[in-house]
A and B are shown apart, each in its own frame.
Chain A
Amino acid sequence: MQEMLYRQTAPKMLAICMRYARDRMEAEDALQLGYVKVFQKIKEYRGEGSFEGWIRKIMVNTAIESYRKNLRTLTIVPLEDGLEQAAEGFDFNRLGMQDLLGLIQKLADGYRIVFNMYIIEGYSHKEIGILLGISEGASKSQLSRARAILKEEIIKMEGINYATHAG
């Protein structure tokens, strides 16, 4: 019963954990922790919303918690001028999920967490500020920095792709 639930949901949940972690090992540790919580709290599930959504929430919370536990200082790097202009002229459709995942994992911890929470999970900057214990403004600047870095990285990848095609 428990194993069935795990088999059905784990791949999606690991994809979530992967976004919050730096590598697969860290992600699988978080996944394990998350599922232990799921089975411990399963009696608390009231049937509100989808069961998968409930598990998903636990996974995200676990990821945020474990980030907060070994809270590394959020290094705020000043934005470089001209980066925004560079962020044009690339083709997303060539990029697969694995590519993007690789890029996200390479981000500094603070950027990665804020990016995930805001862009994919849909938290507001206010909520992120409260959950991570940072100011709303800090959350915003982390996000724009994360975006800028990702765009830059994608352009680099595109360049390599073009070079490969040309050659």
Chain B
Amino acid sequence: MPHMQDKDFDQLFRDKFEEAEVQPSAHLWNNIEAEINKPKRKFPVYWMAAALAVAALGIGLLVNQPALEKEKSLVTIGATKAASQAVHQDTISSDSRTAPGLADIKNALAAESASRPVAGAVHQEVFAVAAQQNLSPEKSDIQAAHADQEENRRAAAMTEKKDLLAMQPSGSIVHHDNNELVVTQHKSGLPESTRKPEALMLASADEKTASNEVINENDTNAENKGIRNVGDLINFVVDKVDKREDKLIQFKTEDDNSSLVALNIGMFKFNQRRQK
């Protein structure tokens, strides 16, 4: 037989396999059919993340059950205010029934804050801004009067409340140092539970002038302009649930597009504000 060239050898294999057929096992089609009819399980990752975040918030709210009622009230107030701030203020200043309710909230918040020293500052801001935004000066009067009436019964709670009220403006004043009086009051006043509402009024008044700028520097205040969008709502809820200084998540809500400014998930932290 003649020596076979590679070319011929290759051609022979090509010919042999050109029309080659091998019968597959009978069960194979069933496997393929099962595979192609499998429902798509691919669930977008970001939806999973969103669902997890919602679940975490839900659990947080459940755990903080005692605070839930107050949050509801605050949310309601915020929403109402956003809808019609002027009307709302009128209503509050003339409605003496709402004032004790708010005082209650304040007391509760103050007590809560006092038990968590680290988170206290943030909480006070929330609280104080709520006061500043929601209450006209007359409102503060009502509140103070109400507080006086119940002083005997709730001496302890009042102490905390006053302390916090005294502390709050001092924060503003550190920024603006235009009121030595309140600073002094703050420094010496904390241990004393007998501070009078006038002092509180002073503090409130000062806070009114100062806090607008403070608020601009601090985006964690959802109550700043009320809850207008989802970012505000998330900031508000996270504020309630997460007492740390670095919140789980924070949104910038100055413009209508809420954008993420800070994130704190365990090891991973992100804060746009601080990178400046």
* Among listed B8-16, B106-114, B194-202, interface-contacting one: B8-16
CB pair B35 A14 closer than 8 Å: no
Which residues in window 17-32 of A have CB below 8 A to B?
A: 18-19, 27-28, 31-32
Interface residues of A (CB under 8 A from B): 2-3, 6-7, 10-12, 14-15, 18-19, 27-28, 31-32, 35-36, 39-40, 87-92, 95-97, 100-101, 119-120, 147, 150-151
- How many contacts A-B (CB < 8 Å)? 78
Q: How far is the CA of A19 from the CA of B36 in the complex (A)?
A: 25
Kindly identify which residue among B1, B2, B10, B24 contacts A10, using a CB–CB cutoff of 8 Å.
B24
Residue total for B at the interface (Cβ-Cβ under 8 A): 26
Q: How far is the CA of A62 from the CA of B1 in the complex (A)?
A: 39
- B49 — which chain A residues lie within 8 A by C-beta? none
* Among listed B25-33, B67-75, B160-168, B183-191, interface-contacting one: B25-33
Known: A36-B35, A147-B6. Contact between A90 and B1, CB under 8 A? yes
- A89 — which chain B residues lie within 8 A by C-beta? 1
CB pair A36 B36 closer than 8 Å: yes
CB pair B13 A120 closer than 8 Å: yes
Say yes or no for B3: interface residue by CB 8 A criterion: yes
CB pair A11 B32 closer than 8 Å: no
- A39 — which chain B residues lie within 8 A by C-beta? 32, 36
Q: How far is the CA of A95 from the CA of B28 in the complex (A)?
A: 29
CB pair B32 A120 closer than 8 Å: no
CB nearest neighbor in A for B25:
A28
Q: How far is the CA of A119 from the CA of B24 in the complex (A)?
A: 24
Q: How far is the CA of A15 from the CA of B21 in the complex (A)?
A: 5
Q: How far is the CA of A40 from the CA of B37 in the complex (A)?
A: 10
Apart from the given pairs A2-B33, A3-B33, A14-B23, 13 other A-B contacts in the complex at a CB distance below 8 Å: A6-B32, A10-B28, A14-B22, A15-B22, A18-B22, A28-B25, A31-B24, A40-B36, A88-B4, A97-B16, A101-B20, A150-B9, A151-B4
Instruction: For residue B18, give the distance in angstroms from its CB to the closest CB of chain A.
Output: 8
